[in-house]
């Protein structure tokens, strides 16, 4: 399995509080992604990074920001959490090539976030 960890694995917070989720990889992959998974929607891309300090928005980026100061860490921040951001958040990594097919993404175990 690809070396990807996410922390925390579970978090309960209140509306209006800031929340930061961390993704850490040991594979030295260039690309990192944050997705949210919701029933009936599959996975939707929030933000992604194509290198240190290089990030871009995905399909559902409103209310989220990201930072990548080191190759191995990709942080997702909810500046002021809302109940609509209750979800399971997955980090993924890719080296753009790989035995799983070019661009194949490998996923972390997920973080379950509940915003009350």
- Among 3, 45, 63, 114, the residue binding another protein under the rule CB under 8 A is 45
Number of residues that bind another protein (CB under 8 A): 27
> Would you count residue 62 as binding another protein (CB under 8 A)?
no
* Count of other CB atoms within 10 angstroms of residue 24: 17
Residue owning tokens 């002021």: 80
Spatial separation of the C-alpha atoms in residues 115 and 82, rounded to whole Å? 6
- Cα four-point dihedral sign 10, 15, 45, 87: positive
CB of 90 to another protein, least distance (A): 6
**Residue from 8, 16, 18, 100 binding another protein (CB under 8 A):** 100
Which whole-number Å values give the CA distances from 35 to 61, 64, 69, 96, 99, in the listed order?
10, 11, 19, 18, 22
User: Which range binds another protein by CB under 8 A, 16-24, 39-47, 62-70, 78-86?
Assistant: 39-47
Task: Pick from 20, 67, 104, 114 the residue near another protein by CB under 8 A.
Answer: 104
List of residues contacting another protein (CB under 8 A): 4, 33, 35, 40-45, 48, 50, 56, 58-59, 90, 92, 100-110
């Amino acid at each position: 399995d690809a070396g990807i960890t996410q922390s925390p694995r579970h978090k309960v917070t209140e509306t209006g509080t800031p929340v930061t989720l961390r993704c850490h990889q040991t594979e030295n992959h260039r690309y990192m992604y944050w997705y949210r998974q919701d029933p009936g929607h599959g996975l939707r891309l929030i933000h992604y990074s194509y290198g240190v300090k290089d990030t871009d928005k995905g399909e559902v980026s409103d209310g989220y920001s990201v930072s990548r100061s080191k190759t191995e860490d990709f942080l997702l921040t909810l500046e002021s959490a809302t109940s609509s951001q209750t979800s399971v958040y997955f980090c993924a990594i890719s080296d753009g090539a790989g035995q799983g097919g070019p661009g194949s993404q490998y996923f972390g175990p997920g973080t379950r976030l509940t915003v009350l």
